[in-house]
């Protein structure tokens, strides 16, 4: 759970900052689910968040509702809600067990924007049930879908293998882990062409590196693009030809 005690702990690391611009409260669950964050904790959380100009929380689109709107009204700063769109692929989305339709995402973004709440979206690169040869196309289409619905920030997340369910899907051919080249291609197509801030999620991205000659430099390029919001030329490599 992400309650007031957890936020108190994180404040020990930021209490001496002169300017507290933003804070993210990601709790591996849904912030507006009472089982994850009890409503009784909200007054203390509101007070703890007072120094911040923006607070970002994560929530399933179907749980965006009155509690979210009330929380935003009480914040001193602006609330931003991160929604998992994942993919707009019509075959993959129902099979991902998100219990979400695109209409749920559309409704959530519309309600948030109408209330002056910021919207961030997560898009998966190469999720299960999407053919590897179509992974980049569906990631780019999903990013543009989120932006068209009003998302101001979108993160492209390469799906990480390693848990039992994904391993089983990989063995059956229903999941193909993404490559670094696919992440570069998707990010290059979205970095400047969407009208929103698009970033590549580089947590644990070293696992995507297959060429020691160019891999680290390619990750550094993506990191710079995340910060600058501008596309850079690809890193050339005679050893692997950028694959």
pTM of the model: 0.90
The reply to whether 149 falls in a domain is: yes
Helix, strand or coil, per DSSP, at residue 225: helix
Q: Is residue 45, in this structure, part of any structural domain at all?
A: no
Max CA distance (Å), the chain: 59
- Domain assignment of residue 32, yes or no: no
In a domain, 141, yes or no: yes
In the numeric block, which tokens belong to residue 72? 């935003």
Confidence bin at 27 (pLDDT 50/70/90): confident
Res. 195 pLDDT band, cuts 50 70 90: confident
Which of the listed ranges 21-35, 168-182, 190-204 does the model predict with the highest average pLDDT? 168-182
Model confidence at 143, pLDDT cuts 50, 70, 90, reads very high
Assess contact for 106 and 137: CB atoms under 8 A.
no
How much is the pLDDT for 20?
64
Domain harbouring 184, CATH code: 3.20.20.80
Entry field: residues in the chain: 243
Using 50, 70 and 90 to split pLDDT, how confident is the model at 6? low
| pLDDT, averaged across the chain | 90
In which band, very low, low, confident or very high, does the pLDDT at 204 lie, cut at 50, 70 and 90?
A: very high
Mean pLDDT of the region 161-183: 91
Mean pLDDT to the nearest integer, 18-24: 75
Name the nearest CA neighbour of 110 among 148, 141, 138, 78.
148
Strand partners, 80: 56, 118
Distance of CA 69 to the CA centre of its chain: 21
Q: Is residue 123 in some structural domain?
A: yes
| Contact (CB, 8 A) for 146 and 199 | no
Token digits of residue 58 = 């994560």
For residue 144, give its domain range: 59-228
**Could you tell me if residue 186 is inside a domain?**
yes
Residue 38 lies in a domain: no
C-alpha angle 98/89/59, rounded to 5°? Answer: 30
**pLDDT, tens digit, 9 for 90 and up, residues 227-241:** 998 899 999 998 897
Measured distance CA(42)–CA(45) in Å, rounded: 5
Mean pLDDT of 66-75: 96
235 assigned to some structural domain = no
CB 166 within 8 A of CB 175: yes
Please state the domain count of the chain.
1
Lowest mean pLDDT among 27-36, 131-140, 176-185: 27-36
pLDDT-wise least confident of 19-23, 31-35, 37-41, 206-210: 19-23
């Amino acid at each position: 759970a992400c309650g007031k005690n957890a936020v108190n702990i994180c404040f020990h690391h930021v209490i001496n900052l002169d300017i507290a611009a933003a804070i993210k409260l990601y709790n591996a669950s849904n912030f507006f689910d009472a089982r994850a964050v009890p409503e009784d904790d909200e007054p203390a959380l509101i007070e703890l968040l007072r120094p911040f100009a923006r607070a970002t929380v994560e929530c399933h689109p179907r749980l965006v509702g009155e509690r979210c709107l009330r929380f935003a009204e009480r914040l001193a700063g602006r609330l931003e809600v991160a929604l998992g769109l994942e993919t707009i692929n019509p075959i993959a989305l129902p099979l991902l067990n998100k219990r979400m339709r695109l209409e749920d995402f559309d409704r959530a973004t519309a309600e948030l924007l109408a209330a002056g709440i910021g919207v961030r979206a997560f898009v998966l690169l190469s999720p299960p049930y999407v053919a590897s040869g179509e992974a980049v196309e569906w990631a780019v289409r999903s990013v543009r879908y989120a932006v068209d619905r009003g998302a101001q920030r979108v993160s492209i997340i390469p799906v990480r293998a390693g848990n039992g369910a994904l391993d089983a899907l990989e063995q059956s051919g229903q999941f193909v882990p993404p490559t670094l080249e696919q992440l570069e291609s998707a990010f290059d197509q979205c970095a400047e062409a969407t009208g929103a801030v698009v970033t590549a999620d580089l947590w644990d991205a070293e696992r995507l590196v297959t060429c020691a000659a160019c891999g680290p430099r390619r990750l550094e390029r993506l990191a710079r693009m995340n910060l600058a919001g501008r596309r850079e030329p690809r890193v050339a490599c005679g050893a692997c030809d950028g694959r």
